[in-house]
Amino acid sequence: MFKRFLKATLEVQLAITCSVLCLLSGLILTFLASFSSFYLQKESRDFLGQALADQLSKQIIESIETGDLIDLVGSLQSFISDSSATVALVYDIEENILASAGKFADGSPQYTAPILIGRDLAGSVVIEINSSRKDLLQLRFIVSLMGLAIFFSIVIFFASKKLSLFITRRLRYAVEQLEINEKNHLKENNVLVELEKQIENLPIN
């Protein structure tokens, strides 16, 4: 592969070099953007999850005080239907489950908040947020950035190849001015290599 690159014309060498540099730059920017997006998304999700857990712990205090488990289960089901939480559980002070709603999913983040009646701890709530949709959107975002990086590298390849023709034309003109008429002289495909040979073949006074 590298030998083919060395034997290619100067226009192609310049175009490949520029496009590869553009692709590397695009991939580095994609990595930085995806890392930043992941961090911001995690921070936002953690803030939302903890806020929902705190909200639920305050919302069910009355049901905990009265011991109405039916009302407690209804509150949990209403909570997960009206929020982004997919699972809600209530534990008593001895870590026994009092009520639950929803089903656990593997890999989803969980958030916990204490249930306080006055200053006394009465138990805790645990909620789970399904982040699969946001993860899919983030993956699409990364793939789209990689696609843009590849697209721009292809555009840069053809643009730089077109622009490099102006350079190679002047070099070829210089080669023609230095060219010594020799029999069986094989011209090189790369104009720089040809120019070097012509300079080496110049007569030395």
Tokens for 28? 């580095």
Are the C-beta atoms of 142 and 20 separated by less than 8 Å?
no
Look up tokens 């840069």; give the residue.
156
Phi, psi of 144 (to 5 degrees): -65, -40
Could you report the per-residue pLDDT of 88-138, keeping only the tens digit for each? 999 988 888 888 888 877 767 889 999 988 888 888 999 998 777 777 888
Look up tokens 């080669």; give the residue.
175
Query: Whole-prediction pTM value?
Result: 0.64
Mean pLDDT of the chain: 81
> CA-to-CA distance for 63 and 45, rounded, in angstroms?
28
